[in-house]
Amino acid sequence: MPLVTTKEMFEKAYKGGYAVGAFNVNNMEMIQAIVEAANECKSPVILQVSAGARKYANPVYLRHLVMAAAETTDIPIAMHLDHGADFEICKSSIDDGFTSVMIDASSKPWEENIALTRKVVEYAHAHGVVVEAELGKLAGIEDDVHVEAHDAMFTSPDEVEEFTSRTGIDSLAIAIGTSHGAYKFKPGQDPKLRIDILEEIGRRLPGFPIVLHGASSVPQDQVAIVNEFGGSMPNAIGIPESELKKAAKLAVCKINIDSDLRVAFTAACRKHFCEHPDHFDPRQYLGDARANMKEMVRHKIIDVLGSAGKA
């Protein structure tokens, strides 16, 4: 099936009270793990590529890998640029065949965010591509930008109507308590999402798809495996999956997960190396890593996002 935009995916997700998973990809095994899981669950899926992934893998390689995934399955797959920092990266992704881009001008002043986002929307829509933009500031690390927790800013519901109507975007990423990376909160903390803000934004923008970044939950069983087999990941927790489930039932149609997949991949590699110190064929440990990542994606689709059977 050819790549699709997120338009129809989000319309169905909004009405159906579930969210579509947007998983970050950097190499073939990750793409296979995500797409195999989504295919087995009959779920739509978004494969997203960051600037770091483009630098690591070369966008042409990633495009062909994603196209291969689409060609070998029947589920709807969108290819999305994650955290596009400027017009040029969005344009080059659109020219490269991406079906969706994010322009992340959330750290810029209001009028600049609107002007840049509008410029991307005009180019994208002229090419049949949809656009996500962001209002508010998440804590954590995005590429090379590190936002301290005290600097993070919840999205103001008062701003969303003007922002969406002046920019013409197709979906809006908001800050309601999620943050990027695998070290979000200390054990013992009780992280909660500001569901009240999400509900208010839902009232201001009826039917409009909302996006959550930084939605990894930091699976403690996988962190324990990393640390049992020679790793030293700090003790940290993420956003409880129960909170994400609540958001998925409301206006949130896209939930971004990267760190949890990285932890699953790394846990399997570390375990494999320790249990089989004689192995040197990459297919052996990458095969385990792919299988473990696939299991994580299945779990997210079935138990958190609610998108199984919605393809």
Token pair listed for 12: 């169905």
> Closer to ligand G3H at the Cβ: 29 or 82?
82
Quick check: 271 and 23 in contact, CB under 8 A?
no
* By CB under 6 A, residue 54 contacts ligand 13P: no
SS3 content of the chain, % helix, strand, coil (to 5): 50, 20, 35
The SS3 call for residue 139 is: strand
Q: How far is the CB of 134 from ligand G3H (least distance, A)?
A: 11
Task: Name the nearest CA neighbour of 138 among 128, 126, 150, 130.
Answer: 150
Q: How far is the CB of 30 from ligand G3H (least distance, A)?
A: 11
Among 54, 80, 180, 272, binds ligand 13P (CB under 6 A): 180
Q: How far is the CB of 255 from Zn ion (least distance, A)?
A: 11
Taking CB under 6 A as the binding criterion, the range among 114-122, 212-220, 274-282, 286-294 that sits at the site for ligand 13P is 212-220
* By CB under 6 A, residue 216 contacts ligand 13P: yes
Burial profile 191-203: b = 16 or more Cβ within 10 angstroms, e = fewer: bebbeebbebbbe
Distance set, CA 155 to CA 149, 277, 311 (Å): 14, 49, 31
Token pair listed for 100: 């969706």
* By CB under 5 A, residue 80 contacts Zn ion: no
Count of residues in contact with ligand 13P, rule CB under 6 A: 14
Distance set, CA 87 to CA 94, 98, 131 (Å): 10, 14, 12
The catalytically annotated residue of 82, 104, 170, 258 is 82
* By CB under 5 A, residue 213 contacts Zn ion: yes
Residues forming contacts to ligand G3H in the complex (CB under 6 A) are 24, 50, 52-53, 82-83, 142-143, 180, 258
Among 82, 132, 134, 241, binds ligand 13P (CB under 6 A): 82
Active site residue 82: yes
Give me the helices (H) in 192-281, please. Answer: 195-204, 220-228, 241-249, 259-275
Q: Give residues in contact with Zn ion (CB under 5 A).
A: 213, 256
Cite the active site residues.
82
Q: Give residues in contact with ligand 13P (CB under 6 A).
A: 24, 82-83, 180-181, 213-216, 256-260
